Amino acid sequence: MPKSLVALPMVAIALTLAACGSQSGSGNRADTASAQRQAQWNEDAVHDLKQAIDSRAVHGLDHLSFAVEGEPGTGAGQDALTRSALRYARALAGGASDPKKLYEVYTLGAPKPDLERGLKDALASGKLRGWLDGLAPQEEDYRNLSRAYLALGKQRSDTAKPIPDAGKPIDPGTSDSRMPAIERQLVASGYLDRAGNAGDRYAEPLVRAVKHMQVDYGIKPDGVIGEKALEILNLSDADRAREIAVAMERMRWLDRAPPGTRIDVNLAAARLTYWRDGKIADTRKVVVGEPDTETPQLGSPIYRLVANPTWTVPRSIQNKEIAGKGAGYMKRNNMVWKDGWIVQQPGPRNSLGMVKFDMKNDHEIYLHDTPAKQLFAEVQRQRSHGCVRVEDAVGFAEKIARDEGILDQWNKARASGKEGFVELPREIPVRLFYSTILFDDQGAPVIRADPYGWNDRVAEALGFGQRQGSRLRAGGDDVGP
């Protein structure tokens, strides 16, 4: 996998829901009043503010209104201008929307700049425009998204589709002028490794890819590219612009200085990135929650490794998926009753596999191994009950243990065959986030599926209309967490 197709950088500190406040809390009445008393506006500053807001398409915010109110000649006008400037500054610094209001669970840390102080200094120095521009993320990925959004704005049509519906399906083995565009989108969606220069012919590799996609979305896997298959593959320029604007907003939500050593998990792409001292040390596939049991967006550190873990089956899984299966099922899966709970004993058939990465959060979410290795071959890997299954988790645990200087303790715990706990000398932050945009080797954004449909509420908050797209099909007989 190209090294550039990695998760967007994530935030540093996990917060509990009880401690969560509005991300725009820095704009409370007292602080704003203080800033209004100190910040002095003149005609040049007003001009700079209007210019910055007129250019808000650079940040994908052109579907929202940021009216500049007030004139610098009066005290009331000064106050109104300050409120206008702070409203736009908050949108750049932390997002125009509040993820804690959009999602039931969102515990990722947010930027906390002192906007009132920053505005005062910018007005005093005459550098308001530069200050506003510096509030948005400064990463190259953000700039690439901005450039792509602006380019689409110059050419987009709300109705034009790159792959038009010609009124009849495309059958396997036939030729159609739309096939090159279909092939490109299959590559972008992950169903093909690369374009094979098949030309207009609907050849067998493409048929297999389309069938795989149809299974994921609950369509009859006959390989026929009809209306429903085109709906999954097709994005108009307006659709693409919408997805890119959402990705930029998600980046604005995040802390600008994540810790150099961390683990990022992109839930939409089902991929893990391990950062060590500011550099990517490892990437691998993961399996995350399916659409009915989504993995939440949260920040939560790993504090210990668990060798040969037991699994205490949650009541929800016990009642829905194990109850009534009988003693034979329990025996085959090495399960026993303990204090009124079903507990699966250590071993290769354990649903947690051979290692668990214990995390600190109130939602019982953690990383772990799995015996269901076949799921890592799937393109859409939203297949679990909410926890995160890691590809070659044993190898990943060994890598962390070596990096943290506890490899000997870890090897002894594993060799015992019994459940064993190995504390990390320092906690490793983990960020579970959601982004449907990856980047190719040239830095161009690649739009992937929105398996949870979580982009819709963000797009609406940014002033975009709803998009009726196909959703990943939930379901399966895997009882793991």
Residue labelled with tokens 């007292």: 30
Q: At what angle do helices 29-38 and 115-125 cross, to 10 degrees?
A: 10
Does any domain span residue 248?
no
Residue 222: exposure state from Cβ atoms within 10 A (0-12, 13-18, ≥19): middle
Co-location of 143 and 173 in the same domain: no
Q: Note if 59 is an active site residue.
A: no
Co-location of 215 and 127 in the same domain: no
Co-location of 95 and 126 in the same domain: yes
Does any domain span residue 190?
yes
Residue 423 in contact with residue 304, Cβ under 8 Å? yes
Confidence of residue 39 (pLDDT cuts 50, 70, 90): low
* CATH number of the domain that residue 182 is part of: 1.10.101.10
Residue 258 in contact with residue 11, Cβ under 8 Å? yes
Residue 425 in contact with residue 401, Cβ under 8 Å? no
User: What is the per-residue DSSP string for 236-295?
Assistant: -HHHHHHHHHHHHHHHHTS-SS--SSEEEEETTTTEEEEEETTEEEEEEEEEEE-TTSPP
Is residue 1 predicted with pLDDT exceeding 50? no
Co-location of 142 and 174 in the same domain: no
| CA 158 – CA 137 distance, rounded (Å) | 28
Does any domain span residue 468?
no
- Three-class DSSP category at 356: strand
**What is the phi-psi region of residue 317: left when phi exceeds 0, alpha when psi lies from -120 to 50, beta otherwise?**
alpha
Tokens of 45: 């500053």
Is residue 64 predicted with pLDDT exceeding 60? yes
Choose the catalytic residue: 59, 212, 385, 387. 387
Co-location of 302 and 279 in the same domain: yes
Q: What's the domain count of the chain?
A: 3
Residue 452 in contact with residue 291, Cβ under 8 Å? yes
Co-location of 75 and 220 in the same domain: no
> Amino acid identity of 462?
L
For the stretch 288-301, pLDDT in tens is 999 989 999 999 99
Dihedral angle sign, alpha carbons of residues 343, 347, 350, 354: positive
Instruction: Please give the angle made by the CA atoms of 82, 88 and 90, to the nearest 5 degrees.
Output: 95
Residue 274 in contact with residue 263, Cβ under 8 Å? yes
Confidence of residue 472 (pLDDT cuts 50, 70, 90): confident
Full residue range of the structural domain in which residue 295 is found: 259-439
| Helix (H) and strand (E) counts in the chain | 16, 16
How many Å separate Cα 247 from the centre of its chain? 9
Does any domain span residue 68?
yes
What is the pLDDT, as a whole number, of residue 33? Answer: 53
Is residue 28 predicted with pLDDT exceeding 60? no
- Over residues 307-335, the mean pLDDT reads 89
Co-location of 401 and 297 in the same domain: yes
pTM of the shown model: 0.84
Co-location of 274 and 423 in the same domain: yes
Does any domain span residue 456?
no
Does any domain span residue 411?
yes
User: What is the per-residue DSSP string for 287-328?
Assistant: EEE-TTSPPPBEE--EEEEEES--EE--HHHIIIIITTSHHH
Q: Note if 212 is an active site residue.
A: no
Question: Percentage of the chain surpassing pLDDT 70?
Answer: 88
Co-location of 305 and 408 in the same domain: yes
Work out the number of other CB atoms within 10 angstroms of the CB of residue 20. 17
Dihedral angle sign, alpha carbons of residues 169, 468, 456, 362: negative
Co-location of 166 and 139 in the same domain: no
Which comes out higher in pLDDT, residue 25 or 262? Answer: 262
Q: Residues with Cβ < 8 Å from 468, sequence gap 6 or more?
A: none
Choose the weakest-confidence range: 59-63, 160-164, 396-400. 160-164
Is residue 248 predicted with pLDDT exceeding 80? yes
Tokens of 440: 């190719």
Residue labelled with tokens 């504090």: 303
Does any domain span residue 464?
no
Confidence of residue 69 (pLDDT cuts 50, 70, 90): very high
Choose among 196, 193, 191, 167: nearest CA to 179.
196
Choose among 187, 193, 229, 199: nearest CA to 211.
229
For the stretch 108-163, pLDDT in tens is 989 999 999 999 999 999 999 999 999 999 999 999 999 999 998 886 555 556 78
Q: Residues with Cβ < 8 Å from 309, sequence gap 6 or more?
A: 346, 350, 352, 353, 354, 355, 356, 368, 419
What is the pLDDT, as a whole number, of residue 14? Answer: 31
Does any domain span residue 390?
yes
For the stretch 219-245, pLDDT in tens is 889 999 998 898 888 888 888 899 999
Choose the catalytic residue: 59, 212, 368, 385. 368
Which comes out higher in pLDDT, residue 408 or 320? Answer: 408
Co-location of 138 and 191 in the same domain: no
Average pLDDT, the chain: 88
- What letters, b where the CB count within 10 A reaches 16 and e where it falls short, cover 224-240? bbbebbbbbbbbbbbbb
What is the pLDDT, as a whole number, of residue 11? Answer: 33
**What is the phi-psi region of residue 397: left when phi exceeds 0, alpha when psi lies from -120 to 50, beta otherwise?**
alpha
Co-location of 359 and 412 in the same domain: yes
